Amino acid sequence: MAVASPSRARHGQHGRSTKPSEGRAAWWRCCRAERGTGGRAAVPPSRARDRRHKQEFFPYPEISNEELAEINEFVGPVEKFFNEEVDSKKIDQDAKIPPETLQGLKDLGLFGIYCTPILLYLKWICLGGRGGLGLSNTMYARLGEITSLDGSIAVTLAAHQAIGLKGILIAGTEEQKAKYLPRLASGEHIAAFCLTEPGSGSDAASIQTRATLSEDGKHFLLNGSKVWISNGGLASIFTVFARTEVVDKDGQVKDKITAFIVERDFGGVTHGKPEDKLGIRGSNTCEVHFENTKVPIENVIGEVGGGFKVAMNILNSGRFSMGSASAGMIKKLIELTSEYACTRKQFNKKLSQFGLIQEKFCLMAVKAYVMESMAYLTAGMMDRPGFPDCSVEAAMVKVFSSEGAWACVSEALQILGGLGYMKDYPYERYLRDTRILLIFEGTNEILRMYIALTGMQHAGKILTEKIKYKGNMGVALGEFLTRLQDTLGRKVDLGLIGDRGVVHPSLQESAKKLEENVYYFGSTVRGLLSRFGKTIVEEQLVLKRVADVVINLYAMTAAISRASRSISIGLRNHDHEVLLTNIFCTEAYFKNNYAMAQLEKYADENLDDSIKKAAKQILEKRAYICSHPLDKTF
């Protein structure tokens, strides 16, 4: 096993920042370690800190043998259940999960995987409560791998625990937890998360549902309707976000978002009929209406007016499991399609002998490997003590895995040809189910903005601090020297490889590529910040590229870290892992270089201007405005 070793620490690092908000963007901390080159005089270098950054990713997180045994013990029956009892085709056709399947899931305890903190677990036992397994994020990721074999069930479970009851879990009072969690964890009650409204997706300002305090001050009256609520028809506990009037510090009355726990029994809760969807048809999605629902004041999650933070935390924390879920699905698909490719013969050759088919299998394996690595790395980081904020990493996992899953399913269908298109086979269902991954839990576009902007905010702080400390001339000079050095050819060494490196030597090529990318990405970001300043928020095309590069860097890191560990401890088929890692890293390296080359250019050179202009012309007319190719003027 690769040992985490102190780095060369030739990279300057800025002073210790104590703000908790800086806890996010762990990856950025890693990036910025490299960005600080030349800042030695400005800020005291901190070896320990630098080492810590590396330690977050190297070595790959592990769990203890007991935990592993526990997980395996738990996974076995679940896997059996999914293989034998779940009829995905029927669920898809009937657009309903049959009650006995649902009961089976509850019996397996799948509705309570995510009631994380061990303390809580102990407390429930003390309280004599049944239910929650109190397993870690890693466990949740592992189970997601299996539950994803049926998209509808996976979404039902995710809506229940990744977002539905998460509010109570992370921001609820002890009383609320004691009151609701046991029954939610056992599956007796199902939870739903009610945020989206007809006029409000990600914009909090357009939420119309309103909660007004009753005269006695003990209840809120909830009015409004929510749309596209997963589990809306099944749930009996809702996490609802509504506008409330809050008196500001300066005495002004303001509308602020508040989160409530609403039981169906409070009255006035109705739901529409289940929506007919493209994929994940078995999951229950419907409108939920609240009409003068009386919510006791104890059921406010967090504080009154603090719903925004609750919502953000819930949304930010639940995403990482999509990586393992997608990987699980792709692994299953590889089994199914390779079976087909190795038996079907054309021109006296098996399909598997054609290069173009082989390429597709390689792609699927690489994607599955990388997203798995990312998911478990993130889960491992989240399981570390102290509730580290890994929302950026989780978002990266979500973006990478949802897009990878969509590409892989599409390629799998391509391997199968016409067969994949037929309803008799499960493949088209996978395709339909996968499409939602790009959309829900924050669309990939929005998450890209989140990833890039969160990082930019962090990097920008460092840059401004440096400017403040050294003055403009010094920074400019340093910048100039760095540029000069870069053009003359700099050997980037971030301490991943070499004598005291953390990466196995057989991965050193990939690690070198990662280091180089990270270094140049640092200078690219610095350039972007000095070009755009805080107006970079408006430059979405730039931010998209930044986000893409970051996602690739994180993916490379995760893959290298995992493969390094596999070789070091001698896992089975670790040479295959090395192969996949090297393939991925090489590809990603070129993609990153391309994106960074574009980022260095101005808008008229990297097509951004033209893209925006074309879109503007189309949107002005709200139509495709080209003349028909058969049109004439004379």
Partner 1 sequence: MRLSWVRALPRGLWGSPGVPELCRSLCQRPARAPTERGDTAGTPKPRGPQRRHPTEGDTARGDTPRGDGDTARGDTPRGDGDTARGAASAWHRHFQEIRDKERGPEPRDHRRGHLGGDTSWGGTSRGDTFRDDTFKGDTSSSPPPHHRSHQHHDDSHQQDPRDGDPSEPGSPRRGPAAFEAALRAMERWPPGRGGRLALVEAALAAMEALGVERSVAAYNALLRLLPRGPWVPRGPVQRLLFPFPRQQECGLQLLEQMERYGVIPDAETRFLLLGVFGPRSRPLRKVQRMMFWLPRFRHLDPHPLPPQPTRPGLAAARLGLHRMAGDPGATVTVIQPPVPDTGDDEGSVQPYIVSSQSPEQRELLAQHDPARAVFVEGPFPLWLRGTLLKYFVLRGDPLPPHLRDPPPDPERSFYFPLELQLELERGPWDDEEFDVDEVEEGPVFALCVPGAGDRRTLARWISALQEQNPILGRAPVVFRLNEGGADPREGPQTPRLGTGTPPGAGLEPPEEGERGGEPRKNNGE
Nearer to partner 1 by C-beta: 39 or 328?
A: 39
Alpha carbon 566 to its chain's center: 24
Residue range at the interface with partner 1 (CB under 8 A); choices 244-252, 303-311, 326-334, 479-487: 303-311
* From candidates 460, 495, 501, 522, binder to partner 1 by CB under 8 A: 460
- # binding residues, partner 1 (CB under 8 A): 41
Give the shortest CB-602-to-partner 1 separation in angstroms. 7
Does residue 630 touch partner 1 according to CB under 8 A? no
Alpha carbon 216 to its chain's center: 43
Rg (CA), the chain: 26
Whether residue 465 lies in the annotated active site: no
**Environment class of 208 (CB within 10 Å of its CB; exposed 0-12, middle 13-18, buried 19+):** middle
Query: What type of residue is 513?
Result: K
Please give the residues from 32 up to 91 whose contact with partner 1 meets the rule CB under 8 A.
none
Contacts of residue 216, defined as CB under 8 A and 6 or more positions apart, other chains included, come to none
Does residue 331 touch partner 1 according to CB under 8 A? no
Going by C-alpha positions, the residue among 17, 24, 43, 22 that lies closest to residue 9 is: 43
Going by C-alpha positions, the residue among 390, 456, 549 that lies closest to residue 25 is: 390
Q: Residue 562 in 3-state DSSP?
A: helix
Please give the residues from 525 up to 564 whose contact with partner 1 meets the rule CB under 8 A.
529-537
* From candidates 4, 9, 102, 204, binder to partner 1 by CB under 8 A: 204
Catalytic residue among 34, 145, 411, 441: 441
Going by C-alpha positions, the residue among 596, 445, 457 that lies closest to residue 533 is: 457
302's enclosing H/E stretch is none
Please give the residues from 211 up to 270 whose contact with partner 1 meets the rule CB under 8 A.
256-257
Does residue 446 touch partner 1 according to CB under 8 A? yes
Nearer to partner 1 by C-beta: 42 or 311?
A: 311
Give the shortest CB-400-to-partner 1 separation in angstroms. 17
d(CA 576, CA 366): 10
Query: What type of residue is 30?
Result: C
d(CA 33, CA 577): 28
Query: What type of residue is 524?
Result: T
Residue range at the interface with partner 1 (CB under 8 A); choices 38-46, 196-204, 470-478, 516-524: 196-204
Q: How many CB atoms lie within 10 A of CB 469?
A: 15
DSSP state of 38: T
Nearer to partner 1 by C-beta: 219 or 226?
A: 226
Please give the residues from 367 up to 426 whose contact with partner 1 meets the rule CB under 8 A.
none
Binding mask 597-616 for partner 1 (x = CB under 8 A): -----xx-------------
d(CA 352, CA 355): 8
* From candidates 133, 141, 165, 195, binder to partner 1 by CB under 8 A: 195
CA distances from 98 to 90, 105, 428 (A): 9, 11, 21
Nearer to partner 1 by C-beta: 65 or 633?
A: 633
d(CA 55, CA 68): 22
Give the shortest CB-428-to-partner 1 separation in angstroms. 31
Does residue 447 touch partner 1 according to CB under 8 A? yes
Nearer to partner 1 by C-beta: 64 or 627?
A: 627
Nearer to partner 1 by C-beta: 252 or 348?
A: 252
Contact residues for partner 1, defined by CB under 8 A = 195, 202-205, 256-257, 308-309, 311-312, 315, 442, 446-447, 449-450, 453-454, 456-457, 460-461, 463-464, 529-537, 602-603, 620, 622, 627, 633-634
Catalytic residues: 441
